[in-house]
Amino acid sequence: MTAYVIGNITVKDPDKWAEYRSLVPETLVPWSGELVLRGTRAKVLSGHYRHTDTVVIRFPDSDSVANWHNSPAYQALVPLRTQAADVDLVTFEAD
C-alpha cells in the first residue's frame, strides 16, 4: 500500500534549510521515495496553519518509509534539519 510522508515546516534558518533540502533527495533513492510536492504556504482557506512550508514524499509502502527515516543517510541530516526548521513529519497510507 502506497505511503506518504507529509512534512509541515516552519523555516528558522533559510540557508541551512536550503542545504538540508539539497541533501534529502539522494537519501530517498534506496527506498524508492519520490518527492511529490515542495511548497510554501499560499493561503489558508480554513482553520489555522502555523507552518510556512510543506513537503509530500511518496513511498511504495510503510516499510520503505520506516527504512528511509531510520537510515544512516537520513539520520545524518536530522541535526541540520533541527537547526534549519521546526518540522512535524507524519506518514499516511493511501486507501
| Residue 11 confidence (pLDDT) | 96
* 33-83: pLDDT as tens digits: 999 999 987 889 999 989 999 999 999 999 999 999 999 999 999 999 999
Distances (CA, A) of 53 to 6, 11, 35, 46, 57: 11, 8, 14, 17, 14
For residues 49 and 62, give the distance between their C-alpha atoms in angstroms, rounded to a whole number: 26
Residue type, 51: H
Structural domain tally of the chain? 1
pLDDT attached to residue 71? 98
The per-residue pLDDT for 82 is 98
In the 8-state DSSP scheme, what is residue 32? T
Q: What is the residue range of 52's domain?
A: 3-93
Q: Mean pLDDT over residues 26-31, rounded?
A: 98
For position 12, which CATH number holds? 3.30.70.100
Instruction: Return the pLDDT at 42.
Output: 80
Predicted model pTM: 0.92
Task: Give all strands (DSSP E) within the chain, no chain letters.
Answer: 3-11, 34-40, 53-59, 85-93
